[in-house]
Chain A
Amino acid sequence: MALQMFVTFSPWNCLLLLVALECSEASSDLNESANSTAQYAPNAWFAAASSEPDERISVFELDYDYVQIPYEVTLWILLASLAKIGFHLYRRLPGLMPESCLLILVGALVGAIIFGTDHKSPPVMDSSIYFLYLLPPIVLEGGYFMPTRPFFENIGSILWWAVLGALINALGIGLSLYFICQVKAFGLGDVNLLQNLLFGSLISAVDPVAVLAVFEEARVNEQLYMMIFGEALLNDGITVVLYNMLIAFTKMHKFEDIEPVDILAGCARFIIVGLGGILFGIVFGFISAFITRFTQNISAIEPLIVFMFSYLSYLAAETLYLSGILAITACAVTMKKYVEENVSQTSYTTIKYFMKMLSSVSETLIFIFMGVSTVGKNHEWNWAFICFTLAFCQIWRAISVFALFYISNQFRTFPFSIKDQCIIFYSGVRGAGSFSLAFLLPLSLFPRKKMFVTATLVVIYFTAFIQGITVGPLVRYLDVKKTNKKESINEELHIRLMDHLKAGIEDVCGHWSHYQVRDKFKKFDHRYLRKILIRKNLPKSSIVSLYKKLEMKQAIEMVETGILSSTAFSIPHQARRIQGIKRLSPEDVESIRDILTSNMYQVRQRTLSYNKYNLKPQTSEKQAKEILIRRQNTLRESMRKGHSLPWGKPAGTKNVRYLSFTYGNPQSAGRDTRAAEFSDDDSSDPGSPSIMFSALSRIGSLKKQEAQEIIPMKSLHRGRKAFNSGYQRNTSQEEYLGGVRRVALRPKPLFHAVDEEGESGGESEGKASLVEVQSRWTTDRGHGRDHNRSHSPLLQKK
């Protein structure tokens, strides 16, 4: 269709697509009615000359039925994507309402179109499509992007809340609705207990992650974040297990036949299904991690392995009637750590993005199906049922939140405040999961299915829109922001300083968790698991190093353009400002305040940042890079001048070399592993790029090597008039030294500190900012010094 142009912005594109769709529907009807032989059209092309054509061979034909389903599905997905683009273009919208609202609207729109054009056979979701194709990507994405450390630290609370919360909600809502159904006046007498329980279980499937984006800027503490995330993760699994169990119950028995034995068996089954699924997931996770150990030569199939094994774990668990959702979640969690280290850079990025894409598509499709079934004639509106459902959803969620947290607070070191509990209560937004389960109720067992679907839709719409939109203001209100907007510049500066200070001290304190279990696991992990699952170090391809070269170049450019404007840092400016202090006008003050607020560095967010629909561009990474580069410069500058740090201590006689730094953001786990790759890369490729901020080099014995990568350094220096070329830079050799050492260690550093003992022995003191995350690095550093000299023969080779 010629109208399939790629229009990027504005909601008018929806109209264009609407027109396109209309045309396609119209022409399909036209085709059907006018040209009865249209069905034969595809066959006609294939059935060569044997058939006598009844009419002239038409030069231009239209066959819509052949492509109908993929065509429409593609159009839907495209429409949703365009809507998302529009959504994000309006800056304020993402903060106002969750993205799932947008998807619901798009779905409703498509539903309206389909209804309006009286489309005969739109693609419909059925049980196998949902459970086999649409659900796994969503769950996989949730499991993969889950931050593991906070999850396992809070695992007790999370399990307690997710499992029991889901159970309480399901049973509570089911039972309450059953009692409502008993009331004759509402005309619901034919809905028995099992059906109510089933409805309760499917309506309690919440999707709280959708609202996380809304209150992202409010500093939600880590524990709260983890609770919401954990609940979202486990909730799907639990509701589906419950759902399937209850369906089995419904199929097997009439209500009166159910005996306590069955109920006991049901509970046992619940546990087995859950644990079995997790076990399957872990096994498959380890297998896939093991396999990725060997894929270095065919890195193109690495994403394939990851996805196939996750999917396989899901299917294998489903075969045995275990919980596929929990299996795929466990698989993703297990696999992530090892796979990320084994897999190449591009594969890693591919996996992340592909996962997001798949889950995004799945969810879009589910919402569109939801929209399609919203706008239609197949509703059954029963005031009582719907209103009570809504009411009970809220009531039971409140009960479960406050009761369960009250109990778990007794055992927690850091109890959840009432504020936190309110946020958790209010984030109980229903999403695609509930709708799917309602839609897939077998009609034979549920004669009043339409009523259930209608009620589910109402709950989803209500919670998604009303709660989704108001949760942001609520959180901000609860967060008790400062009331006075007019802060003086002093206050702003000091507040930001204190925030940074607090973040820094928090980092010094580290994470206080259950050390015992974590340490034990770490030991076990190091000793056995990593040996089996992580690949041995081998040189990476040159493509990878090229990629890293480009990154480095960008970093260098940024430094040049950025810092050039404000030259040497530590030149005292006393001379210039002898005159009296100017009195600044209010406008100046305002502009100063604006400059300050917009340009001050953000405090490093210890709380996690997860967006369900998006992989956020890492602005904090750029900031971190900036900070790091500036620190390096300052330190180098001050070293050169003979001061170590601005507070005037004499420079140590140590020679410190700063080797490669890659990504400054210590948050994302993936980055650490990227840095690990980088280090391995160095070992193989001595000319590999790293910004060498080497200070006074004491190793005159090492040859200077004019490697390619020094040139960017030179251009960097050329820009600074302050620096002179009295610098000695030993680049590749030292780096190679460090690299060789690193091969043995496999550290995961952000920087490599290679400390050299100068003439004076004794304690090494880094005057510079070197960061090292892994402890093994330092323990071997001592050995490294000894190896230093012995490696010099190796240098001759290069």
Chain B
Amino acid sequence: MGSRSSHVAIPDADSIRRETGFSQASLLRLHHRFRALDRNKKGYLSRMDLQQIGALAVNPLGDRIIESFFPDGSQQVDFPGFVRVLAHFRPVEDEDTETQDPKKPEPLNSRRNKLHYAFQLYDLDGDGKISRHEMLQVLRLMVGVQVTEEQLENIADRTVQEADEDGDGAVSFVEFTKSLEKMDVEQKMSIRILK
């Protein structure tokens, strides 16, 4: 499949593979997809390119997902960056946890990193906490128009209140992780085609 595609060599393929853990085949496919999205053959993706994915427009979190590809205010994402984000969704296999070298950085698709990715979707200002306001904004995105603002605020209050342990009125990453400890995050945030 991938090997027969037009051979555009992936720069730094090995380092990307080490960092993300993708197989060569998956990497080739992702590169193919990257090039398909990159309409003007610029070599990187802009927000425009990602916005042309039709299905994202009807996804309530579409904008935020796109934004997550552009960390730190950049306007372009190159292939390593693209792959780095997608690596979060690689299914967790047992071999990853076995060869856990304490000196190596945690693989991108570990539970913690997956949760961190999700956390970043909430935490827009990047202060490491989900404030009540941020929670409310996410709620607004995800809930239909029939719910009144009052109800939304209640829900946001309750959500923060449930998770907040140190009483600062915001949910830190640790608290976020704790509130989801019973949930099978690895399975929820894994896409099986990204082996």
Contact = CB atoms under 8 A, between A and B. Distances in A.
B13 interface: no
B189 A498 contact: yes
The secondary structure that dominates the B interface is: helix
Nearest to B55: A507
Contacts of A601: 60, 142-144
B38 to A, nearest CB: 11
B55 A596 contact: no
Given A499-B188, A509-B33, A623-B144, A504 B137 contact: no
Interface string A403-421: 0000000000110000000
Contacts of A537: none
Interface in B103-142: 118, 121-122, 124-125, 132-133, 136-140, 142
B65 A505 contact: yes
A596 B75 CA distance: 35
Contact of B124 (A567, A626, A647, A766): A647
Contacts of B180: 490-491, 494
B159 A503 contact: no
B86 A508 contact: yes
Nearest to B125: A647
Interface in B37-76: 37, 39-40, 46-48, 50-63, 65, 67, 73, 75
A540 interface: no
Contacts of B24: none
Given A496-B142, A573-B133, A592-B154, A769 B118 contact: no
Contact of A562 (B62, B145, B157): B145
B125 to A, nearest CB: 7
Interface string A640-665: 00000111110000000000000011
A508 B30 CA distance: 10
A588 B50 CA distance: 40
A596 B139 CA distance: 9
Contacts of B125: 647-648
Interface residues of B, number: 80
A326 B86 CA distance: 42
Nearest to B4: A516
A269 interface: no
B162 A595 contact: no
Nearest to A644: B47
Contact of B89 (A488, A502, A558, A766): A502
Which of B51, B52, B67, B132 is packed against the most chain A CB atoms within 10 Å?
A: B52
Given A509-B191, A572-B133, A500 B50 contact: no
A159 interface: no
B57 A565 contact: no
A766 B51 contact: yes
Contacts of A617: none
Nearest to A558: B145
Which of B50, B55, B121, B137 is packed against the most chain A CB atoms within 10 Å?
A: B55
B163 interface: yes
B78 interface: no
A769 B52 CA distance: 8
Interface stretch (A45-53, A139-147, A770-778, A785-793): A770-778
Contacts of A259: none
Interface in B1-50: 1-2, 4-5, 29-30, 32-33, 36-37, 39-40, 46-48, 50
Contacts of A489: 155, 158-159, 162
Which of B73, B137, B159, B190 is packed against the most chain A CB atoms within 10 Å?
A: B159
Contacts of B161: 581, 584
Contacts of A512: 1, 29, 33, 193
Contacts of B59: 500, 503-504, 507, 604, 627
Contact of A501 (B32, B61, B143): B61
A490 B180 CA distance: 8
Contact of A771 (B57, B139, B155, B162): B57
A702 B179 CA distance: 55
Nearest to B184: A482
Interface in A717-773: 750-751, 753, 755, 763-773
B57 A502 contact: no
Interface in A469-514: 484, 488-491, 493-510, 512, 514
Contacts of A502: 89, 188-191
A486 to B, nearest CB: 11
Interface string B148-161: 11011111011111
Interface string A702-725: 000000000000000000000000
A332 B39 CA distance: 33
A666 B147 contact: no
Given A498-B189, A599-B147, A646-B124, A484 B182 contact: yes
A506 B59 CA distance: 11
A771 B183 contact: no
Contacts of A646: 124, 137
Nearest to A649: B73
Contacts of B138: 493, 497
Given A490-B163, A765-B75, A750 B54 contact: yes
A52 to B, nearest CB: 77
B65 A772 contact: no
Nearest to A667: B55
A577 B153 contact: yes
B54 A773 contact: yes
B77 to A, nearest CB: 11
B40 A778 contact: yes
Contacts of B174: none
Nearest to B39: A778
Nearest to B29: A512
Nearest to B147: A599
A516 B46 CA distance: 26
B57 A628 contact: yes
B158 A589 contact: yes
Which of B5, B53, B125 is packed against the most chain A CB atoms within 10 Å?
A: B53
Interface in B77-108: 86, 89
Contacts of A499: 188
Contact of B133 (A506, A574, A592): A574
A353 interface: no
Nearest to B26: A512
Contacts of A505: 65, 86, 89, 191
B140 to A, nearest CB: 6
A626 B56 contact: no
A681 B137 CA distance: 37
A665 B54 CA distance: 9
Given A512-B29, A601-B60, A494 B179 contact: yes
A779 interface: yes
A584 B158 contact: yes
24 contacts: A413-B1, A489-B158, A494-B180, A497-B142, A500-B60, A502-B191, A508-B56, A512-B29, A565-B145, A566-B149, A577-B157, A592-B155, A595-B147, A601-B60, A601-B144, A646-B124, A763-B75, A765-B48, A766-B47, A769-B62, A770-B57, A771-B51, A778-B39, A782-B40
Given A499-B188, A566-B148, A755-B48, 7 more contacts: A502-B190, A504-B59, A505-B89, A508-B50, A626-B144, A627-B59, A628-B58
Interface of B: 1-2, 4-5, 29-30, 32-33, 36-37, 39-40, 46-48, 50-63, 65, 67, 73, 75, 86, 89, 118, 121-122, 124-125, 132-133, 136-140, 142-149, 151-155, 157-163, 169, 179-180, 182-183, 185, 188-194
Interface of A: 413-414, 484, 488-491, 493-510, 512, 514-516, 558, 562-563, 565-567, 569, 572-574, 577, 581-582, 584, 588-589, 592, 595-596, 599-601, 604, 623-624, 626-628, 630-631, 645-649, 664-666, 750-751, 753, 755, 763-773, 775, 778-779, 782
Give the 10 A-B CB pairs with smallest separation, nearest first: A562-B145, A507-B55, A624-B58, A771-B57, A566-B149, A504-B65, A766-B48, A666-B54, A772-B52, A778-B39
